Structure 1
């Protein structure tokens, strides 16, 4: 049977399966810690007793323990996930993209099944940290998305097509993540934690079968003697060529764009990672239904950002202006979150963030256009690695800060997130002064010999 060159269904099911679990993780940890630290049952049907002013000390204690649990989870999973991501995505330039897609699916399936076992048998809560570590050995979402974006880069020749298709992948992630997040609250209230974890595992099994038996490989390279190097040798050579084998202008430009991508990702991820804990805390004290609605509304930014990128691109708006709008969107949203004290306000703060995802597909496309076809895997390995580092470090740092500041000002982390957006703004100005946004200049940044070599690559398009 002939395979398909269609990555979007894979991304859709991956997003649905994972975001069926992600909103439940902090809630499950929070409830277990509440039971252990307060020696009382977590109030599910009515949150009035949980939000009673007399329970303020219990709230603070559970909030600190939950944020530290998140910190330990990220610290134990960061290094293996980072190493695997960097190696696999760069290695895919020689052996194909599917390995970067299949292995993270196996890791996600293991994590979902581990969560199901801990929940069903009420095992020790800290076994989840072990499960996170083992899952990270297969790569994480950074590895999966790095492989998917490399897959798309192989198939797209036109720069605008590449931008729109990468933005489309972000849109698919947001759409299915929103549906999953919206259903988690009702699913949890109707069936408890076990059935959502089981459903997630079923979707991941289906995804794994699709990736192995249906998805076609974009790279069909002969395994001759010149390609039979060790994985680390190929990795080092690919990354070396990405920077050293280019003009000075491209080196500076690529480094600036990577720093811009990384600093914005850090600020955005750090703030977003603390929102669920903030919603569980006083005075909001959200239940699982409201958290599901909030998560679903947060996921709509992927859809609105895709529409924004599409409309702005069609209207000829420069890439740097699109990125600027996205950064300002995050700054405004995070600032408002820090002062949100009512349910209505907490829903409304999502509105300024509707275009917050726009910088990511635009930056990926800009970087992809200034490197040759043979360097796409190395580029997306760097991006996936950078994304993994930023996610892990941001969650670790902001979890520590939240634990330290929750007693006197829980919104401090969100103000810090907004303030850190000044760094990508400064880098954006530097990129603008370099004049990257002109498409003709971007083409010149790839050395002529690289373009000629890339034309001979046996890519299936």
Structure 2
């Protein structure tokens, strides 16, 4: 049977399965720690808020649980960060020689292991810290950065021009948001009706289907030389030489442009992910004290920015430059984070989604900008570096912001969001510097590739 050149179904199912359990992970850890620290059952109510009639002693215990939950998240991120980074760099870069599918299949296996581990801990009530070991093991197969790096490389293989590449990458981001939003809405009701076990099991089944599609239906975009050896030393040599040629080639201007773009991408990702990593804990804490239903609706509302950002990219790309689109997205992130820091009511938390409607725009546009200045044969190496730095920035951001939140939650729970907004000034400043170096003309962009002498013919099929 002839395969399909559509990676979007994999991204869609992966997003749905992941965000079905992502809000549950922090809630499950939070409830287990609540039970251990307070020696009392977690207060479940049909009301939208759990803060009513809370004594000062209960408030102190709640702050203690908040600290413990954020530190648990930090430890989990630390244990998974290094193996995930190494596997991302190796797999996505090596996909230039051995095909893109390996970078998609391996993380799907890791995600399935991670979900089944959560199911086992929840069902058998095993030690909570086994989840940290599960994070480490699943990271050995790569992570979401590995899969997305492979998917974006896959898309780059199929696209012929820059505008098509930008829109197709924006579609991938939009698919993530839409399916994640649907999953987040259902999660709260699923949890209240069936507990934690059934959502974890359902997510695992979706991931099995996704893995089968990736293995048997998805077609490879790269022509694989079966006679090529796969020795580890050869893999590392190709990886190192590919990265060296990408950033230390004869075309110094291209090297500086790529470095600047990657730094902008990673610093923005650091600030944005840092705030998002603790937002569920922030919603569970006073004065919001959201129930699981509201947490699900809040996650879904937040993820609609993927749809609005895609619309923004589609509309703005017709009349604005890539630089302007990225700047509008950065401004959206800053305003939204400042509003979250001072949001003390449910209505205000939902209104935050209005200024954040373009917050995802910078990421697909920056990926497309980077992809445009490298040759077809360097897409894997490029997206390996992008995925690696993105993984590093997001994991470090989660660790740093979790520890800062644990230290500041008692006196200013919104401090981390103000910090994230302030850190966004760094990529905004670097974007202004990039504007002085980056070519705005398509012919000039093509010259960056040809001057480096790395452009090769494209044998990949077009979807």
Secondary structure at the residue paired with 1:330?
Answer: helix
Corresponding residue for residue 38 of structure 2: 38
Change (3 A) 1:97 1:407: same
Corresponding residue for residue 11 of structure 1: 11
Corresponding residue for residue 460 of structure 1: 461
Q: In the alignment, is residue 298 of structure 1 matched against residue 299 of structure 2?
A: no
Corresponding residue for residue 112 of structure 1: 115
Say whether the 8 Å CA contact 2:249–2:452 is kept in structure 1: no
Corresponding residue for residue 250 of structure 1: 254
Say whether the 8 Å CA contact 2:79–2:132 is kept in structure 1: yes
Instruction: Please list the CA deviations of residues 59-82 of structure 1 after superposition, one character each: whole Å capped at 9, or x if unmatched.
Output: 110000000000000000000000
Q: In the alignment, is residue 283 of structure 1 matched against residue 298 of structure 2?
A: no
Structure-2 separation of matches of 1:199 and 1:354? 30
Corresponding residue for residue 419 of structure 2: 416
Q: In the alignment, is residue 27 of structure 1 matched against residue 31 of structure 2?
A: no
Deviation at 1:246? 4.3
Corresponding residue for residue 365 of structure 1: 368
Deviation at 1:237? 1.3
Change (3 A) 1:225 1:177: closer
Deviation at 1:248? 1.0
Say whether the 8 Å CA contact 2:51–2:286 is kept in structure 1: no
Deviation at 1:243? 1.2
Deviation at 1:414? 0.2
Listed as ranges, the matches of 1:130-145 within 5 Å are 130-145=133-148
Structure-1 separation of matches of 2:235 and 2:138? 21
Structure-2 separation of matches of 1:439 and 1:222? 33
Structure-2 separation of matches of 1:399 and 1:319? 33
Structure-1 separation of matches of 2:37 and 2:152? 44
Structure-1 separation of matches of 2:355 and 2:453? 42
Structure-1 separation of matches of 2:139 and 2:424? 28
Deviation at 1:437? 3.0
Structure-2 separation of matches of 1:172 and 1:65? 34
Structure 1, unmatched stretches of 5+, are none
Change (3 A) 1:49 1:260: closer
Say whether the 8 Å CA contact 2:50–2:291 is kept in structure 1: no
Secondary structure at the residue paired with 1:34?
Answer: helix
Listed as ranges, the matches of 1:216-227 within 5 Å are 216-224=219-227
Instruction: Please list the CA deviations of residues 398-432 of structure 1 after superposition, one character each: whole Å capped at 9, or x if unmatched.
Output: 00100000111010000000000000011000011
Q: Which region of structure 1 is more displaced relative to structure 2, 122-131 or 432-441?
A: 432-441
Structure 2, unmatched stretches of 5+, are none
Corresponding residue for residue 174 of structure 2: 171
Q: What's the C-alpha RMSD, in Å, of the aligned pairs?
A: 1.4
Listed as ranges, the matches of 1:293-442 within 5 Å are 293-314=297-318, 316-442=319-445
- TM-score, length basis structure 2: 0.97
Secondary structure at the residue paired with 1:458?
Answer: coil
Deviation at 1:436? 3.0
Q: In the alignment, is residue 191 of structure 1 matched against residue 181 of structure 2?
A: no
Structure-2 separation of matches of 1:150 and 1:124? 39
- TM-score, length basis structure 1: 0.97
